Amino acid sequence: MSFIIKDETGIARMREACRIAAEVLDEIGPHIRPGVTTLEIDRVCAEAMTARDTRSATIGYQPPGYPPYPGHVCTSVNQVVCHGIPNSKPLKKGDIVNVDVTVVTPDGWFGDSSRMFEVGACSIAARRLCRLTYEAMWLGIEQVKPGARLGDIGHAIQKFAEGHGLSVVREFCGHGIGQKFHEEPQVLHYGQPGTGEELTPGMIFTIEPMINIGKRDIKELNDGWTIVTRDRCLSAQWEHTVLVTPTGREVLTLSPGMPPVPSFVKDMGSVIA
């Protein structure tokens, strides 16, 4: 497996790209309310990217075997696990929606982050799912340091989620990122501690668990992109981009508008540059 280790210049470029992705999520937050469509969310995000001299990495994105993705962002509502395509259906009170933003800077660096939003007053179960998925992501981030293994990240997420009666989607994972949207390594959100590749300073990757209230089984819709839970139960996802530093990790996609970091995060000095 070949990892691209970023030098100081690359790390600085990634800090900038990731900062912008997080700012776009901050900007969209006030717009998410009952009656708003995900197409409107997509438009606001596209305008926010343009205002920051970046563009969307997703619109027109076409891996082999897929149709071109038609949105500037992914908007995944309720039972949609990931890759939800923005549409004209209004959000309603009680919905939960994941907005996944990936920007590309003029010099070709990618910043990637996603966030859950609650639309008006949500059910206790929906709020619990969003909160526990957020905490699961941070438990994975807590494992990141030189000498740790990728399996440590996945194990921490899986043990926490399943311990709360939730299930972890296994078909999608985090990924390396830099001057390509998707690089090595693949970061599974389940696994065994002490297994997988060793983490070294300069590695940058996403941690983005997708966690379901019901079973972990999923299916793809006919549009070729949208992934839903097979049992139609709710799903949630959060995503940060993380740098392995010589002493720990730095979360590159933090921003003023994100929820508070969970209290169990022990050393914020190792999280923020």
Please, what's the b/e burial string for 35-49 (b: 16 or more CB within 10 A of its CB; e: otherwise)? ebebbbbbebbbebb
Do the Cβ atoms of 56 and 104 come closer than 8 Å? Answer: yes
Q: What residue type is 239 in one-letter code?
A: E
In the DSSP assignment, the letter for residue 171 is S
Which pLDDT value is given to residue 1?
A: 61
What whole-number distance in Å separates Cα of residue 126 and Cα of residue 251? 26
Which pLDDT value is given to residue 268?
A: 54
> Percent helix, strand, coil in the chain (nearest 5)?
25, 25, 50
Does 1 map to a domain? no
CATH of the domain at 191: 3.90.230.10
Does 183 map to a domain? yes
Is the predicted pLDDT of residue 269 greater than 60, yes or no? no
Which pLDDT value is given to residue 266?
A: 78
Query: What is the share, in percent, of the chain residues with pLDDT greater than 70?
Result: 97
What whole-number distance in Å separates Cα of residue 109 and Cα of residue 13? 7
Is the predicted pLDDT of residue 109 greater than 90, yes or no? yes
- Average pLDDT score over residue span 237-246: 98
Residue among 41, 248, 63 at smallest CA distance from 147: 248
Residue 22 — very low, low, confident or very high, per pLDDT cuts 50/70/90? very high
Which pLDDT value is given to residue 271?
A: 53
Strand arrangement of the beta sheet that strand 235-237 belongs to: 167-168, 210-212, 235-237
**Could you give the number of structural domains in the chain?**
1
Helix (H) or strand (E) segment spanning residue 242:
strand 240-244
For the chain, give the number of residues. Answer: 273
Residue among 202, 116, 195 at smallest CA distance from 156: 195
- Average pLDDT score over residue span 4-17: 97
Give the least confident one: 66-70, 195-199, 232-236, 269-273. 269-273
If you search the block for the tokens 């926010």, which residue do you land on?
48
Is the predicted pLDDT of residue 34 greater than 80, yes or no? yes
Does 2 map to a domain? no
User: 61: domain range?
Assistant: 8-270
Is the predicted pLDDT of residue 186 greater than 70, yes or no? yes
Report the C-alpha dihedral over residues 98, 108, 9, 188, rounded to 10 degrees: 40
Joined together, the tokens standing for residue 198 give 């060793």
Q: State whether the Cα torsion 200-137-242-85 is positive or negative.
A: positive
Residue 267 — very low, low, confident or very high, per pLDDT cuts 50/70/90? low
